[in-house]
Chain A
Amino acid sequence: MKGMTVIVKTITSWVKILIFLFGIYIILFGHLTPGGGFAGGVILASSYILIMLAYGRDFVEENLSLPAASRIDCLGAFSFAMIAILGLVFGGSFFVNFLFQKYLPGQPLNLVSAGTIPLSNIAIGLKVGASLFLVIVSLSICCKDFRPGTSVNKKKE
């Protein structure tokens, strides 16, 4: 797994950051423009997948280790649920957009508007990005150097 040629590596090193920034943009402007947490998360993951294709899996695992990705994955889902719970605490009903109704109405079409929706988008973006990354890495593990003894949930003998 040494990766691809110099040309691909060089281009990747320039492009990856643009893709990553574009993903962040899609997530943050999810309530204003087309896109949102899911689409942005997929773009975030795709920048890592590009690095994985160009430089090989080991390089990408040094950058973002699998346990760390798994934690981000759980954290995203957890914070999404917490935002909903906060609606119950502050707004009186589950999933109420309490920020928009009480604390932070904001102007339409501004970045800071729509209450909890951008926060939910960020949580979903983290969740989708990390889990899609994990899915692709797991698939690549299974296809290349899969050893029968290395499966995660092995029964202790």
Chain B
Amino acid sequence: MNIPLPLFVVIPLIVAFLLPIIGSLGGKGKSASTLLANITVLVLLALSILSLGKSDVYQVGKWTIPLGINLVLDGLSVLMLVAVSVVSFAAMLFSVKYMEQYTAKPKYLSLFLLMVAGMNGVVLSGDIFNLFVFLEVASIASYALVGFGCEHEELEASFKYMVLGEIASIFVLFGVALVYGNTGMLNMAYISKSIQQNGMNPGLTFALGLFIAGFGLKAALVPFHAWLPDAHPSAPAPISAMLSGVLIKTLGVYALARIIFNVFGLSLPVAWILLALAMLSMTVGAFLAIGQRDIKRLMAYSSISQVGYIVLGIALGGLIMVKQQNIVLASLAILGGLFHLLNHSVYKSLLFLTSGSIESATGTRDMKKMGGLTQRLPLTRATCTIASASIVGIPPFSGFWSKLILVVAAVQAHFYWIAALIVFVSLCTLIMYLKLQRYVFLGDLPEKFKKIKEHRGTMLASMVFLAVLCVFMGLLVISPTLKAIVLDPAVRVLIGGLRYSKNIITISGM
């Protein structure tokens, strides 16, 4: 039996509204709400793993498309759902102890679950207007969470994030309006059908441009990246993990890939634009990251560079598909991009969680003021090193495999300069994470940190959980059965391109 798809959105939504009521009942209520939030995230994780390998179209309220709202579960959606659930599970477990330093914990949990509901909605939505609505739900919850500390710097970052995020949302809304005006549809499958029948017109081309700018802003690709290095470090550590780990990917990369590949259809200029944006993000993000002194800021810039990798894989696949008509190579490149997406969501959230552990132990984020912490925080150091090795791409950690696939795809398609760029940016990544290891964990321990203690318990458990994933995620491409369940369906969705609309319309029985 298929799982009713709205559950992915409704479970976190309902619990999110219950939590402030339970949380206001005093001390017991606070711990009960924490427990409830954790159970919710665990249930979502179980549901998303159960729906691996399935595909489904759900018509809300039994209204048939294109009139009603539909939710679509396919390979790509499941991949994103699993990523969101894994990271939100780890981040929620981490917040149990970490968020004790703030007073309004039930509100935090409530906003956290609202954000999860929004992201699940974006991933599942089958029509572009609902995609916009869920995008707003997730974004508005994240604006509040970035400014959750209510201190000067956090509020400033939150405001900047809000202004740029709303500009992105306006772009997306204008794009939706133009598409509706030109095709008369909001359902993705039917828009795609209409575009295939009537061809593009200037209005639709402009809408595509607006979508690229809007979702590019959400994904923090380089010309649009200004908000990310402020917003991600200012948030509490589990929220930074969520933002860098999954939010920029669901709202940015996923939506971009879905709209371009499945709705509008690829064309050569669009593939080149995406490739250019991706390469710019990779290099600029890496260069900016090397100079940082603040741990979380360094990680935030490195996120920009890593999102570049993901978009590079997807765009390279698209380019190969349009230019050389080589499906095998194109699927290899897209596989690299999507696998890197999954990997990055795991190790970047792990890195942000370790930064939270370091910050709550030492009270500072400035690398130059730390040193020798490996004596006091041995397990944090171990997990941080695993994550760093993974992001740099040292075998056998997960990041190695995705970068290897990207390089192999680029070389086989005779884009040697792209392969060289991937290796070069990997080298820059190595420099920044060696710097992090050197300044934070090695060297002399300052006098004032002689007494600090590592947080054990749930904070550690969530970090170890992600670290274990980092080590074993390589199996997803090495083992053919796992690859056939998790990654191949997602690649097929993007390679399938415009067949998406026909599939949806046949499945829903029209």
Contacts and interface: CB of A to CB of B under 8 A. Distances in A.
Interface of A: 67, 70-71, 74-75, 77-78, 81-82, 84-85, 87-88, 91-97, 151-156
Given A88-B6, A155-B149, A71 B20 contact: yes
A67 B102 CA distance: 19
Given A94-B10, A154-B102, 20 more contacts: A70-B24, A74-B18, A77-B17, A78-B18, A81-B13, A84-B10, A85-B14, A88-B6, A93-B58, A94-B4, A94-B58, A94-B61, A95-B61, A153-B104, A153-B107, A153-B149, A154-B150, A155-B101, A155-B103, A155-B149
A154 B107 CA distance: 13
Interface in B1-23: 4, 6, 10, 13-14, 17-18, 20-21
B58 A155 contact: no
B103 A153 contact: yes
Contacts of A92: 62
B60 A74 contact: no
Contacts of B20: 70-71, 74
B159 to A, nearest CB: 14
Given A81-B13, A84-B10, A96-B61, A75 B21 contact: yes
B192 interface: no
B88 interface: no
B79 to A, nearest CB: 23
Contacts of A96: 61-62
Nearest to A152: B104
Interface of B: 4, 6, 10, 13-14, 17-18, 20-21, 24, 58-62, 101-104, 107-108, 148-151
A154 to B, nearest CB: 6
A67 B4 CA distance: 35
B10 A81 contact: yes
A156 B101 contact: yes
A24 B10 CA distance: 28
Contacts of A95: 6, 60-61
A93 B62 contact: yes
Contacts of A81: 10, 13-14, 17
Contacts, number: 75
A94 B69 CA distance: 11
Contact of B17 (A78, A85, A87): A78
A153 B150 contact: yes
A151 B20 CA distance: 17
Nearest to A70: B20
B60 A94 contact: yes
Contact of B14 (A78, A97, A155): A78
A154 B103 contact: yes
Contacts of A67: 24
A100 B59 CA distance: 18
A53 B178 CA distance: 43
A87 B61 contact: yes
B21 to A, nearest CB: 5
6 interchain residue pairs of minimum CB distance: A95-B61, A78-B17, A94-B6, A77-B17, A153-B104, A93-B62
A93 B4 CA distance: 8
10 contacts: A67-B24, A70-B20, A70-B24, A74-B20, A81-B17, A85-B14, A94-B4, A94-B58, A94-B60, A153-B102
Contacts of A153: 102-104, 107-108, 148-150
